Amino acid sequence: MPFSIQVTDPTKANELAKVMTDSRWVDPHWKILFEDGTTADHVVSETAQRLPYNLTRRQGKRHQMAVDHVTGEVVGTARWILPEHLRDPKFKTWPEARVPSPSIEDDEKFRKKFEDATDEEGRIKHLRWDLMEVRNTPLEEIDAKIVHDNGPFLTLDYLSTAPHYQRKGVGSALLQRGLEVADANNLSTYVTASPAGLKLYLNHGFEIVETFSLEYPDFGGTEPVVDYFMIRKPKQKS
């Protein structure tokens, strides 16, 4: 492998934000979530400001990044959510993907940067929140039912590979690390996938349990946005 997988490093916030933004900016259903005139550079810069605070605060989450061996460049990133029963630090679940707590000085610095990139209501700036609500409300309802009926899960919350580094196995490698943790804990894995990720998840044993398609012409959508709710059962230990 020309890259390695490591715990996400908050000091790499700019590179991480670029990977996350650039991989999704090509998707018209994602780009349209931002106010007119917002550029990818805006989104990268504000995401980078919020990232260190988010990474070091959410201890029920696990974060990994892929780094190119030769250039040292961040080329992919994944964020996972642990099920409630594995969050207690005394269980030491997946310690190698747990971002360490920052020093008091860093924590203060991260909080300040986060607040500078967040509006008065604590929300991400430049997002079209009316459209977010139209898009997310039905997804949240389906999600709640799936979690209730099939949980607990290890949830894949975010996966992205830098566009120039796609189709080299980064997405699979990041995904595989989480699946190993899920199997070791006899847990199902859950993801809400966009069409871009569908094939990757099917290749790794996920099955579609629900598909939701939404038209939103009143907000400028020209074609339906589709989301796949997918679950992978744990592999039995042999």
Ligand X SMILES: CC(C)(COP(=O)(O)OP(=O)(O)OC[C@H]1O[C@@H](n2cnc3c(N)ncnc32)[C@H](O)[C@@H]1OP(=O)(O)O)[C@@H](O)C(=O)NCCC(=O)NCCS
Task: Find tokens 């796949």 and name the residue.
Answer: 228
Minimal distance in Å, beta carbon 24 to ligand X? 5
Residue, CB closest to ligand X: 171
Residues 151 to 170: which contact ligand X by CB under 6 A? 159-161, 166-170
Q: Is cis: bond before 217, omega within 30 of 0?
A: no
R_g (Cα) of the chain, nearest Å? 18
Beta sheet of 207-214, edge-to-edge order: 3-7, 61-68, 74-81, 153-161, 188-193, 225-232, 207-214
| Residue 13 or 66 having the CB closest to ligand X | 66
Instruction: Kindly state whether residue 23 participates in binding ligand X, applying the rule CB under 6 A.
Output: yes
Q: Which stretch binds ligand X (CB under 6 A): 52-60, 134-142, 177-185, 195-203?
A: 195-203
- Choose which of 181, 193, 225, 231 interacts with ligand X (CB under 6 A): 193
Output the CA angle 152-153-156, nearest 5 degrees: 155
Considering only residues 118, 172, 185, 188, which one is a binding residue for ligand X as defined by CB under 6 A?
172
The residues pairing with 153 across neighbouring beta strands, listed in sequence order, are 188
Q: DSSP alpha helices (H): ranges in 125-218?
A: 129-150, 170-184, 195-203
The only residue of 32, 86, 200, 209 in contact with ligand X, by rule CB under 6 A: 200
How many residues touch ligand X under the rule CB under 6 A: the total is: 20
Residue ranges in contact with ligand X by CB under 6 A: 23-24, 76, 159-161, 166-172, 193-194, 196-197, 199-200, 203
